[in-house]
Amino acid sequence: MEKEEQIAVVEGLNSHGFIFQKACVDQIKKGYTSHNWRISVEEYPTIFEDRQTRIDFILRSALYQPNNFRNRFIVAECKRANPKYSNWVFFKEDNPAKKYFLLNGQYSPTSGQTYTFMDIFGKIENYPYCLDIFKKSIFVDTGVETTSKNPKGKGSATETIENACQQVITGLHGLVMDHMEAVKSEGKPQYDLAYIPLVITTANLYVTNYDSSKVNISAGTIAGEDISFTSANWVIYNWSGIGNPLEKVVSAGGRQKGNIFSPPMDSQEMKEKYLRRSIIVVNSNHLIPLLGSLSFD
């Protein structure tokens, strides 16, 4: 291969992001003893609410007990960005009452071995399935990608973060559907499954600190000295953005599909809660420490 052609091919691979994805997988495999998560499958195709997607990779941590099979899954989406130019800037949850997390699924049989699946909501201070990392992490509710130092220009957008969240939540619920069908056919005495959506990015992560009274209401801007940014290794993003694959469920007032249930949407509060998904967003340099902190024990 000629040098110029090789350069073009490498640039294309880097732009696609597949090389980054493979590097994340290799790092996880090498660091297995420090976090106890293992690669279950890569490039997993699935579908949810007529949306097809492909999960970059799935991690599994299994705990076995007599007559009880517990599986914890991480559904991962990789998003490469040039850290020289790209920053993902998040805004903290402004309402302490909203600082709950949504564990994206628990599954177990009811009486008569009828298998059901329910999404689970919990306030972080008192929920038994709450992970310590959720108690210690920063909760955010809005994310914006900003670019700087880029010769092609500066600016900001939400599309990259939104697309990553859409993909990981679509993939997660597609995986849930697939698992439920498999578990029903196996007829295990009890299954207890939980799922965590994870977005891994090379972008720098920052959380804003500012007083909204300092915003110029006429211009819609804030002076540089009136806002600061805290660097974050990871954040818990309570996402409910545009293109949420669960919007059909909410608009239908909740639903039952086979033995998989969503809660009844009998209030606006319930609808808002159901659309919000707690997604972990991590900078790739801190992926292994994050996995080491994630435990359901």
* Residue 212 confidence (pLDDT) above 80: yes
Does residue 69 sit within a domain? Answer: yes
Examine the pLDDT at 286 and tell me if it is beyond 90: yes
DSSP code, position 138: P
Query: Can you count the helices (H) and strands (E) in the chain?
Result: 8, 15
Is residue 27 over pLDDT 90?
A: yes
The dihedral over CA atoms of 79, 292, 61, 278, expressed in degrees to the nearest 10, equals -50
- Amino acid 254: pLDDT: 58
pLDDT band at 266 (very low <50, low <70, confident <90, very high): low
Across residues 115-119, what is the average pLDDT?
45
With both helix axes pointing from N to C terminus, report the angle between 18-30 and 3-16 in degrees, rounded to the nearest 10.
Answer: 70
Please state the φ and ψ torsions of residue 104, each to the nearest 5 degrees. Answer: -80, 35
Rg (CA), the chain: 20
CA angle 66, 70, 72 (to 5 degrees): 160
* Phi and psi, residue 114, nearest 5°: -90, 115
Q: Domain tally for the chain?
A: 1
3-state secondary structure of 190: coil
* Residue 259 within a domain: yes
Q: Are 206 and 231 in contact (CB under 8 A)?
A: yes
d(CA 199, CA 283): 9
Q: What is the pTM of this model?
A: 0.84
Contact at 8 Å (CB) between 53 and 173? no
Does residue 40 fall inside a structural domain? yes
**Structural domain includes residue 44:** yes
Answer yes or no: is 232 within a domain: no
3-class SS at 128?
coil
Domain extent, residue 135, equals 8-82+99-140+169-203+240-273+284-293
Residue 156 lies in a domain: no
At 153, is the pLDDT very low, low, confident or very high (cuts 50, 70, 90)? low
Does pLDDT of 56 surpass 90?
Answer: yes
Task: Measure the CA–CA gap between 194 and 72, rounded to whole angstroms.
Answer: 5
Specify if 146 maps to a domain. Answer: no
Closest of 165, 175, 167, 158 to residue 236, by C-alpha: 165
Residue 234 lies in a domain: no
Cα distances from 123 to residues 13, 131, 134, 147, 165, in angstroms, run 42, 11, 10, 35, 22
Residue 246: what pLDDT? Answer: 74
Confidence of residue 160 (pLDDT cuts 50, 70, 90): confident
Pick the range with the lowest mean pLDDT from 41-45, 150-154, 220-224, 232-236: 150-154
Residues in the chain: 297
